[in-house]
Structure 1
C-alpha cells in the first residue's frame, strides 16, 4: 500500500516542554482507558438495544463495536499480559459471533431481495430461521452478562497496563503498532495475489487485516505524523469490495448448511447457482483491487 505524504512531526517523546509550547503528550499506558472506555460503553449500549430492537442495524452496530474492541486490544497487546489479552480478545470474538449468527441471515435475506433472485418462496422460511437465530443470539448475550464482562475486562486491562514502570510515548507506540498492522496487511495481500482464485480464505485474511489497520488509523490518527486520508480511503474501498465478496460466500455457505431446512421451500438449487456465479464475479473484482494495494 502506497504511503501518504508525511509532514514533520511536532510531537515530543513526553519530555519537558519549552515555555509556551504544548504540554507533553501522554504515555500510551495512560491513554489506553481513553480509547477503551467509550468503546466498552458503546458495546454495552448496543447489546442492551438488541434485547428490544430486532432490526439488522442493531446487531450490525454491536458486532462492529466488538470488532473495534478486539482491534484495540490487539494494538495494546505489547503492554498487556499475553494470556489475559488473548482471553479478552477471544471474549470479544465470541460475543461478536453470537450477534453474527443472526446478522448472517439478515445478509442472506437482503441479498435475495436486492438482487431479485428468483427465490421469493424461500423468504418465509428464511425469515423464520432468522427469528430463531435472533432468539438464540439474545439468549447468549443475556446469559453472558455483557455489561459485567466488558467492564471487568476494561478494569483488568487498565490495571495490567498501568503496572509497568516504563512509560512509552503514545505517538511512538501508535506509529509502531500501525506499521505492524500495515506489514501484516501487505503480507496477506501478497499471499492472496499468489493464491488460486478459488482460495477464498486468503482473500478473507486480507479483509480482516485491512479492517484492523483501518480501525487503528481511526484510533490513533490524531497522534500520528502526516496525513492518512488516502490510506483510509483505500482501506474503505478494500472493506467494501471484500465485504461484498464475504457476504456472498457466507450466504452461500449458510444456504448449503441449511439445505435440509430449506428443502421444499423453493428453488434452492437455482439460488445456489446464482450465488456460485456471483461469488466468481466478486472474486474477480476483489482480485483487481488487490493489484492496486
Structure 2
C-alpha cells in the first residue's frame, strides 16, 4: 500500500503501514545532508522523522510484526545518536544568537572559550553520528524496514477497523500522562481543591534543583502522547486537534525550561566551575528566562488540572468518527 492510498485504508494494519512509510521516507531523505553536515535543519528533520517513526511503531504495535532490526529498540539507538548532536547544535545556536551580544566585556573571553569547547564536543558528536549512519545496525534497519514495507507482516489486530480500536490505543497513553507526578509540581491542595501556587523566581529555582528531572520527564510523556494523537487527527474533530495543539505548546514551553537547565549544566561542566562564578551575567539571564517560561506554563498547567478538561478529552477519544450506519447504532446503544 502506498502513502497516497489513505482513502482505501480502513484497518489498523492499513494505517500502521501508512504511518511507518511516511516517517521512514522522511527519515532517509535527509540522510545525505546529515552525513555531509550541510545544515542543522537536516539533522533536526531526520531526528524528528526517527522519533515519529518510533512513536508509530509503538502506537501501532498490536497490528505489527516488524523484523527485529526495525523495532522500537533499534530505532531508539539510532535516534539517540542523532539527538546528542542535535542537542549541541541547539545549545550553540541559542548561545550565539540569544546571549552572545548581551554579555559585558569582562565575560566575553570566557564565553568564547565555552563556545570553542562546545564546538569541539560537537565535532566528536558528529563523528559518532557518521559512524552510526554507516554502521551495520543502521543499514540493517533501513533494509529490513524497506523490505517490510514492500511485503508487510501483521499482527492479529491488524484486520480490526481502526475506528473501533482507537480509544483502546489512545486512552492508556493519556491516562499515563494525567497520572504523571510532574503535574503536582508548583501546586497546592486545600479542602480537596487543587490550585496553582504563585511561586517566586527563587522558589522556582529551588523546585528545579530538587525536581527538575520530574518536569523534564513530564515533557517527554507529553511528546509521546502528542506524537501518537497526531497519527489519528483524521478520525476526530476540531476539539481533538485543539488538544494536540495544546500538547505541542506544552512540549515547547517545558522544553524551553529544560534548555535553560541543560545550558547551565553543560557550561558549568565544560568550563570546570560553577556558571555563576565564571559567567554571572549569563547565569542570571538563564534564570530569568526559565522563570518567564515557568509563568508561561501556568495557564496550561491550570487548564489541564481541571477535571472537566480531562473528562472532555477522555470523552473525545471515546468516539472517533465512524461510518454513518455505525454512528446510528452507537447512538441507539447509548440511549438504551
Contact 1:29 1:79 in 2 (8 A): yes
1:97 to 80, 92, 101: 80
CA distance in 2, matches of 1:111, 1:133: 18
CA distance in 1, matches of 2:39, 2:114: 20
- Return the TM-score normalized by structure 1: 0.76
Mean alpha-carbon deviation: is it higher for 141-150 or for 200-209? 141-150
1:78 aligns with 2:62: yes
Pair 1:280–1:25, CA change in 2 (3 A): same
Matched, 1:168 2:179: no
Structure 1 unmatched ranges of 5 or more: 1-22
Secondary structure of 2:232's match? helix
The answer to whether 1:229 aligns with 2:229 is: no
**2:302 aligned residue:** 291
**What is the 5 A alignment of 1:42-191?**
42-80=26-64, 88-117=71-100, 118=103, 119-144=111-136, 146-153=138-145, 155=147, 162-164=154-156, 167-188=159-180, 191=181
Corresponding residue pairs, total? 265
Further displaced range: 158-167 or 61-70: 158-167
Contact 2:16/2:64 (8 A) holds in 1: no
Q: Name structure 2 gaps, 5 residues minimum.
A: 1-6, 104-110, 187-206, 305-336
Structure with more contact order per residue of length (Cα contacts < 8 Å, sep ≥ 6): 1
Whichever of the two has the greater Rg, that structure is: 2
Structure 1 stretch 37-46 or stretch 59-68: which is displaced more?
37-46
Task: Map 1:20-31 to 2 at 5 A.
Answer: 26-31=10-15
Q: Alpha-carbon deviation of 1:94?
A: 1.5
Cα pair 2:62 2:155 within 8 Å, conserved:
no
The Cα of 1:155 is off from its aligned counterpart by: 4.6
* Partner SS state of residue 135, structure 2: helix
2:252 to 197, 222, 240: 240
SS of 2:159 mapped into structure 1: coil
State how far apart, in whole Å, the 2-side matches of 1:144 and 1:251 are: 34
Deviation at 1:287, TM superposition (A): 4.7
Q: Say which is worse superposed, 101-110 or 195-204, in terms of deviation.
A: 195-204
The answer on 1:259 being equivalent to 2:271 is yes
With over 3 angstroms needed to count, the CA separation of the structure-2 counterparts of 1:104 and 1:24, relative to structure 1, is closer
- Structure 1, residues 139-192: CA drift from partner, whole Å, max 9, x if none? 22222453531341465699785252773111222332222222222122xx21
Tell me the CA shift for residue 238 of structure 1: 0.6
Bigger Cα displacement from structure 2, 156-165 vs 122-131: 156-165
Contact 1:107 1:251 (C-alpha < 8 Å) held by counterparts: no
Q: CA contact under 8 A between 2:51 and 2:79: conserved in structure 1?
A: yes
Deviations, residues 200-222 of structure 1 (Å, cap 9, x unaligned): 22222221222222222321111
Aligned Cα RMSD in Å? 3.3
Secondary structure, aligned partner of 1:228:
helix
Name the counterpart of 1:192: 182
